A = this chain, B = another copy of it.
């Protein structure tokens, strides 16, 4: 392809909102343009690389026997109502009513569509396992889209869904998907951090995220310095750093040496730090208590304090009942933070927020700042596991300017539920080996997940076993964001001058730069291009009437792996200059050998990346 016959509007300037390398370089190299906030058009150069990534993903899905289908992008709202996600999904779901008043969704993900398709076709266990995928447009109505295609509103995702008769079959395909993901990222030249949702110590994993390190990552990862433990902070656990929980009976004996509960005056004391100073103690001896409001709570709280008469609804016919909203007191050791994702998972709630001041006052009978588990009866108390190790603690006394000291778990207060809801931090100990954990920021490129029966139950999917007995299949889902994967390749492979594509994702394998595209130079360049193309190599020939410096800069910016420079002087000696993008030195090669040499190098790199 000749440069003059394509459309690659390279730029020297950087758009003001482009703060990360991939956004900056994709824009400058003429790969993308912005149509609106979070909506990007791929121009020819960008689309070529995009299709490379798409093809790699398709090949690896086909290789593990997943079958490609193409549902629609606009899907009936009815399916989302059946699954319950119509209400659970919140504002990120782009909903639309058509001219006849019917509800539709612009797909952000397609569990419902795939499950409903399978529901209508599934009869026998002999049809299982079944794995289907699509590579299709998705939409999420991000409030703050940014970082170019890394976090856009419209994007393309490969999403696969598999259906199985049981856990063993599900696990087998889940593992195959995991291997395919590792291969996809390797072929793309990406270093990914696979992050398991549960630690290996806790048994088999039901979810794995594939992260790339990124300073602007929206995930915080915790990694172990000593072993390969890696977890998203949303789910990270750590080694116990508290006495294991003891029962009320044990506590009664154990606390005999602890002074009795004492209410003390704490005027003018606003923060935990001030309180620690005032009482000459540390935050580890303090019980911090927060009041949360949870929405759509699936956990059965019918017998919990203050919950007997809460309103409930069924999000779909087959779904369990959920509580519209409920309040909870969550107590945790004073040096720690509550992890709201873990807490929401414990409560099976779709949303979670700190209660309003007025609700806190109503529930605790005191101004904000004096909540505590002792004597709190209006709402269920959830204790982080750490609190079950505290038997001489300071905590709010449900009264203005008053705290308790010597509060002991089991003696002075107890829990409606204890759970792990702490946020693990750098410096905490690895749950697997006890090594020190450290933090990284990461972006999620892919996610594989054992869904279980959530959608097949909600959408009423059945199959008959060997004996004609009806069962519900279990399900897995497996996603990769294409735009994000492409941008991440650039994040990992660039320098100050531009992109440095791995051959597998490069828009062209070779760029030929004639110093001046005329006479003998023109003829040689055309001949080399023809020879390379005959060998299946993708060539961009920069036939523009521009200064050599401009062409070199654009070649570096576009990041095409191999560059051939042809000028009168070298040609007279029967030579052209060849250079690998990213390497400092060019070398002279005979005109006749250049094409063969580069073709061999391109093929060798492609073969190596897919091994």
Contacts A96-B96, A99-B143, A113-B41; A71 near B7 (Cβ below 8 A) = no
Taking A36-B102, A44-B67 as given, write out 4 further A-B residue pairs in contact, using a Cβ cutoff of 8 Å, ordered by the A residue number.
A7-B67, A43-B117, A44-B69, A74-B153
Does A208 count as interface, using CB distance less than 8 angstroms?
no
B33 lies within 8 A of A117 (CB): yes
Does A139 count as interface, using CB distance less than 8 angstroms?
yes
Q: Top 3 closest A-B pairs, CB basis?
A: A41-B71, A36-B76, A42-B70
Does A550 count as interface, using CB distance less than 8 angstroms?
no
Residue from B6, B100, B130 within 8 A of A143 (CB atoms): B100
- Distance A33 CA – B79 CA, assembled complex (angstroms): 15
Number of copies: 2
Q: Interface size (A, Cβ < 8 Å)?
A: 53
A74 lies within 8 A of B139 (CB): yes
Residue from B70, B96, B99, B130 within 8 A of A41 (CB atoms): B70
Selected A-B contacts with CB under 8 Å, 17 pairs: A5-B65, A7-B67, A7-B132, A9-B121, A33-B121, A35-B72, A36-B75, A36-B102, A41-B70, A42-B70, A47-B69, A72-B154, A74-B106, A94-B96, A96-B96, A98-B141, A137-B137
- Distance A139 CA – B98 CA, assembled complex (angstroms): 11
Q: Which residue of B lies closest to A73 (CB)?
A: B137
- A481 CB to closest chain B CB, in angstroms? 15
Decide if the interface of chain A is mainly helix, strand, loop or mixed: mixed
- Distance A92 CA – B67 CA, assembled complex (angstroms): 33
- A128 CB to closest chain B CB, in angstroms? 11
- Distance A6 CA – B5 CA, assembled complex (angstroms): 41
A70 lies within 8 A of B99 (CB): no
- A116 CB to closest chain B CB, in angstroms? 7
User: Interface 1/0s, chain A 121-162, versus B by CB < 8 A?
Assistant: 100000100101000110101010000000001100000000
Residues of B within 8 A of A43 (CB): 69, 117
- A34 CB to closest chain B CB, in angstroms? 9
A47 lies within 8 A of B70 (CB): yes
- Mark A residues whose CB is within 8 Å of B: 5-7, 9, 33, 35-36, 39-44, 47, 50, 65, 67-76, 78-79, 91-92, 94-96, 98-100, 102, 106, 113, 116-117, 120-121, 127, 130, 132, 136-137, 139, 141, 143, 153-154
Residues of B within 8 A of A40 (CB): 72
- A98 CB to closest chain B CB, in angstroms? 5
- A204 CB to closest chain B CB, in angstroms? 27
- Distance A94 CA – B120 CA, assembled complex (angstroms): 28
B65 lies within 8 A of A41 (CB): no
- Distance A78 CA – B39 CA, assembled complex (angstroms): 13
A6 lies within 8 A of B74 (CB): no
- A606 CB to closest chain B CB, in angstroms? 20
A36 lies within 8 A of B120 (CB): no
Most buried by B among A5, A79, A106: A106
Residue from B35, B71, B73, B113 within 8 A of A116 (CB atoms): B35
- Distance A76 CA – B43 CA, assembled complex (angstroms): 18
- Distance A454 CA – B121 CA, assembled complex (angstroms): 49
- A181 CB to closest chain B CB, in angstroms? 21
A154 lies within 8 A of B74 (CB): yes
Residue from B42, B65, B117 within 8 A of A69 (CB atoms): B42
Residue from B44, B65, B72, B116 within 8 A of A68 (CB atoms): B44
Q: Which residue of B lies closest to A126 (CB)?
A: B4
- Distance A44 CA – B132 CA, assembled complex (angstroms): 9
Residues of B within 8 A of A91 (CB): 99
